[in-house]
Amino acid sequence: MWVRFPPSALKDTIAFGTGRRARLKIVLPYARLGRANEVGGGFPPLANGEIINVLMRRSTFVSEFLFHYIPAMLSIAFTTALLYLMRDVLDTPLIALLYLLPVGASASVWGLGAGIIAALTAFLAFNYFFIEPNFTLVVHSPSDLVGLFVFLIVAVAISQLVGRARAGQALAVEKARLTEIASRAQVLEESDRMKSALLSSVSHELRTPLATIKAATTSLRSGEVKWESKARQELLEAIEDETDHLNLLVGNLLNMSRIEANALKPERQWNLLPEIAGSVVARMHHPLEEHQIIIEIPEDLPLVPVDYVQMEQVFTNLINNSFKYAPAGTTIRIRAEKEGADTVRVQVVNEGPPVPEEDLDRIFEKFHRITAADRITGTGLGLSICKGIIEAHGGKIRAENLPGGFAIIFLLPLSMDGKLAPEPPREPEA
């Protein structure tokens, strides 16, 4: 008998005949033209559009038989040999129970079919070697016959249960694998989306300061701006401000890459928060000209174990965020106070508009913007970086709407390696 498939099924196929005069034929792609390259002959020419396919089921059965069924039967044979050697010290019910071990193991290792084969083999071996009369399949006692059939039913049931459990486990593994693949695909898709958003945002943010710096330097080099003129001073201030802006942008990008790679490791040392906040405010005096900034930090505030550079980045991002959203002429306040025995609470408060409640947590996500980018410039990374730095210090950060304003609040631990801060240095009295 032959199994015929449509021409598109196979190109090169080895076909086998049946009977004494079977021959081997290799069907080439041009068999659809009615010809075949024959080795040994014995076959009629192929009709147009016909291809003879190998009976793959036979190969599958041979594989199952060699690598699943034979090992299952050998396990029963090995068990039978051991039980036969110990037949004088084992009673018949115990032998029947011990046979169930290789049956379950076969179903677990080689599948349901091998388990059933093992059950049938164990049934025959148990009858032949251990049920009287021995060495025959004849059973004289009705109770032995009932026991044999009960054994067979139990063995087959165990093999089915174990086989189904194995199939269920394989299904669970496959499901987990597919879930992992889907999760990876989602992560890659999200990563691509973030890369696109980052490139778009960074390119927009880079264009303005670079254009300003280029225009200012061109004007200065042209010789048209007098050395002592006010215009020259304004151009230099513009270059300085835009350079600081670029420095902030690059710092944010570097910190975000470290946060994403879990490589942001603060070098914590004992520092004064007023000193860190003051240095940031002094460096940002040009952008803050339209705002009043007040630092309200008590002199007796303990030293705080922080990375000086990273904490500067936090204050820079928070102050930068405040003067972007707060109206000109309003006040930005930096407050810090001790909260409890080993925590300091810091607030950066501005008089900008409130944030919708549903966005208070989301503003710390990368690229999440409340205001359209064409109205407020920025990459959407500043607050996300603040969150990463504060959490790397073992602290917490949140946003909160206040009466007449908005605040970013973060908490920092006052202890390092289980020890509180030493006394801060004090200026000698005159």
Q: Where are the beta strands (DSSP E) in 60-135?
A: none
- Give me the residues of the chain with pLDDT under 50, please: 1-55, 372-374, 430
Pairing of strands 292-296, 331-338: parallel
CA distance 279 to 293: 13
> pLDDT tens digits, residue range 10-43?
444 444 444 444 444 444 443 444 444 444 444 4
pLDDT value of position 162: 80
Task: Find tokens 């999760």 and name the residue.
Answer: 183
pLDDT value of position 345: 95
- From the DSSP assignment, how many helices (H) and strands (E) are in the chain? 9, 14
Residues in Cβ contact with 136 at an 8 Å cutoff, skipping those fewer than 6 apart: 128
Residue 273 CA to its chain's centroid (Å): 37
Q: Please say whether the beta carbons of 348 and 295 come within 8 A.
A: no
Residues facing 338 on adjacent strands: 344
> pLDDT tens digits, residue range 265-292?
888 999 999 999 998 898 887 777 888 9
- At 306 the three-state DSSP class reads strand
pLDDT value of position 401: 93
CA distance 248 to 320: 10
Q: Please say whether the beta carbons of 406 and 419 come within 8 A.
A: no
CA distance 17 to 1: 8
Burial of 163 (0-12, 13-18, 19+ CB in 10 A): buried
CA distance 304 to 427: 18
DSSP string of 148-212, one letter each residue: HHHHHHHHHHHHHHHHHHHHHHHHHHHHHHHHHHHHHHHHHHHHHHHHHHHHHHHHHHHHHHHHH
pLDDT value of position 80: 92
CA distance 298 to 336: 7
pLDDT value of position 376: 59
Where exactly are the structural domains of the chain?
4-54, 66-182, 269-419
Task: Name the residue among 251, 231, 239, 212 with its Cα closest to residue 379.
Answer: 251
pLDDT value of position 197: 61
CA distance 409 to 393: 15
CATH number 3.30.565.10 given to 269-419: yes
